[in-house]
Amino acid sequence: MINILEVNETNKMIEQERLDVRTITLGISLLDCCDADLDALNRNIYEKITRLARDLVSTGREIEIEYGIPIVNKRISVTPIALVGGRACRSPEDFVEVAKTLDRAARDTGVNFLGGYSAIVSKGMTPTEEALIRSIPAALASTERVCSSVNIGSTKTGINMDAVKLMGEIVRETAEATKEHNSIGCTKLVVLCNAPDDNPFMAGAFHGVSEADAVINVGVSGPGVIKHALEGARGENFEVLCETVKKTAFKVTRAGQLVAQEASERLGIPFGIVDLSLAPTPSVGDSVAGILEEMGLESAGAPGTTAALALLTDQVKKGGIMASSFVGGLSGAFIPVSEDQGMIDAVNRGALTIEKLEAMTCVCSVGLDMIAIPGNTPASTISGIIADEAAIGMINQKTTAVRLIPVIGKDVGETVEFGGLLGHAPIQQINRFGCADFINRGGRIPAPIHSFKN
Amino acid sequence: MSKTIITVVGKDAVGIIAKVCTYLADNQVNVEDISQTIVQGYFNMMMIVDTSRSSKPYAEMVTELDDLGDAIGVRIRCQREDIFTKMHRI
């Protein structure tokens, strides 16, 4: 039987160490909504989302109350819209109408974000996929809750450099289209390599074509819990350090698995996966950088940071794998800058540069995330950063992503405030040397060899 | 249905257990186990209860116990047992 010490430990994690379930994300297939008529397509999409997600927010709230654990976000992911809108949308403007429908469905079901305004163009682009991509700036400027992602490469296909070039321009256009609001559109746009079909986290969530009609995916969190556990292991060797992370990750994930199963049962929708991710928030004590510093680094970004992050990510997976029957999504540790007070502090004290962040993305769960850069950064430079990140993902068979915010009208030394979970960020210095001739070549980078690994 | 864990934490005072138990009895909630300690004047109690015969909606009970805690100056939490067993038992 459970004892008072165990009960107190769990409640202390929740009340003092910010243990929460970061998101319940309902994945919905929209493939059966396809229609040649745009109005019919919009009607079908709105009807299916609002029907399946009608009770999502209230069910999440019920589980929160009964188990006493916060569930921070309730969200929806849908089939990449480039596939769904293929027949009805003949121009970027048509796709923007679909984005508005998604936004209305998100608002009416009460979710804070809906992901899947996406295209998967890892090898090539169809005309409709290109139209969707070209519609992204207007779509993100005219909606509030829609998130967009574009997968531009994979280990199996190589990197679609035409799409990389285009996405550099689209990121810039999105920044321009939302410049009145600190270029906030770019916080809802992510460029991926090796994107998973079942990711519950925004902005990169979409409901892949390999998925069932509807599925519940859950993202756990808990940087504060891991940091607190490590405070009890100060001065111990790496074996003790790793075991501490692993055991704590197990406990955190079990809470996520429970919430996932309950949500699945109550909504009558199959359980998909638990995503074992340490997702920070701007709140004090909920920081991945804080964990790295607790391990013994003077600041995140100091030499040793990549090793510390590698062991953290690996131990989180090792502990979490046994705690959940199905693991998927991104699973690891997120290192967004603006959403992690410890990372912001590290950038401000000059300890953490974009180049070090790039090295860290080789071992974290995603990539260059929520990094504010000067508003006058050329599109080709953004494409170059996307290509670098995609290359890391392609060669290392992992998901990588880029979510950069070129803040129009701001430069290094200034800060930008996005508000809420999106946080605030200092504008970071990026390499000023150009790569336009490289990006302008066009075509594809071939898939990498799978042997001779050195 | 799974059991429920009620925890009461706060400054010790006369009648804390009585007030919590009266509320539970009034709502047909059966107390199956109580463990309680006082550390440095702080009252710390855990009850394992069965709510299956209670007609009160769960969320309402959580809110009312929270309000009762506010009235007597302690923190009362009411949570389904699974959150603890899943976390601490394989």
Average pLDDT over residues A203-213: 96
The verdict on a CB contact (< 8 Å) between A9 and B59 is: no
What would the pLDDT profile of A181-204 be if each residue is shown by its tens digit?
999 999 999 999 999 999 999 999
Predicted confidence at residue A27, as pLDDT, reads 98
Higher pLDDT, A20 or B40: A20
Search chain A and give the residue with CA nearest B79. Answer: A67
What would the pLDDT profile of A355-383 be if each residue is shown by its tens digit?
999 999 999 988 999 999 999 999 999 99
Residues A115 and A106: their CA atoms lie apart, in Å, by 10
Give chain A's mean pLDDT: 95
Search chain A and give the residue with CA nearest B85. Answer: A2
What would the pLDDT profile of A316-330 be if each residue is shown by its tens digit?
999 999 999 999 988
Chain B positions in Cβ-Cβ contact with residue A255 (cut-off 8 Å): 83, 86-87
Give yes or no for A212 touching B (CB within 8 A).
no
Q: Tokens standing for A234?
A: 């100060």
Residue ranges covered by each domain of chain B? 4-88
Predicted confidence at residue A81, as pLDDT, reads 98
- C-alpha distances out from residue B22 to A4, A113, A175, B62, Å: 22, 44, 60, 15
Has residue A102 got a pLDDT over 80? yes
CATH class of A23-193: alpha beta
Give SS3 for A250.
helix
Q: Kindly indicate the confidence band of residue A421, based on its pLDDT and cuts at 50, 70 and 90.
A: confident
Q: What is the DSSP string of A134-184?
A: HHHHHHHHS-SSEEEEEEEEETTTEEEHHHHHHHHHHHHHHHHHTGGGTTG
The verdict on a CB contact (< 8 Å) between A251 and B87 is: yes
Cα of A60 to nearest chain B Cα, Å: 13
- C-alpha distances out from residue A131 to A41, A93, A95, A134, Å: 17, 9, 8, 5
Q: Kindly indicate the confidence band of residue A237, based on its pLDDT and cuts at 50, 70 and 90.
A: very high
Name residue A372's beta-bridge partners.
Answer: A405
Name residue A405's beta-bridge partners.
Answer: A372
Chain A positions in Cβ-Cβ contact with residue B80 (cut-off 8 Å): 66-67
Predicted confidence at residue A127, as pLDDT, reads 96
Chain A positions in Cβ-Cβ contact with residue B5 (cut-off 8 Å): 2, 7
Give chain B's mean pLDDT: 93
Pick the CATH number of B4-88 from 3.40.190.290, 3.40.50.80, 3.30.70.260, 1.10.150.530: 3.30.70.260
Average pLDDT over residues A297-306: 98
The verdict on a CB contact (< 8 Å) between B58 and A65 is: yes
- Name the A residues in 67-96 with CB < 8 Å from any B CB: 67-69
> Whose structure tokens read 């270029």?
A183
Compare CB distances from B44 to A4, A6, A254 and report the shortest one's residue.
A4
Cα of B14 to nearest chain A Cα, Å: 22
Looking at chain B, the whole-number percentage of residues with pLDDT higher than 90 is 86
Give yes or no for A253 touching B (CB within 8 A).
no
Least confidently predicted of A298-302, A392-396, A419-423:
A419-423
Predicted confidence at residue A419, as pLDDT, reads 85
Domain with CATH 3.20.70.20 in chain A: 23-193, 215-445
Average pLDDT over residues A394-413: 96
Pick the CATH number of A215-445 from 3.30.70.3040, 3.30.420.10, 3.20.70.20, 3.10.310.30: 3.20.70.20
Cα of B13 to nearest chain A Cα, Å: 20
Predicted confidence at residue B1, as pLDDT, reads 63
Torsion sign over Cα B62, B66, B68, B72: positive
Q: Kindly indicate the confidence band of residue B2, based on its pLDDT and cuts at 50, 70 and 90.
A: confident
- Name the A residues in 6-25 with CB < 8 Å from any B CB: 6-11
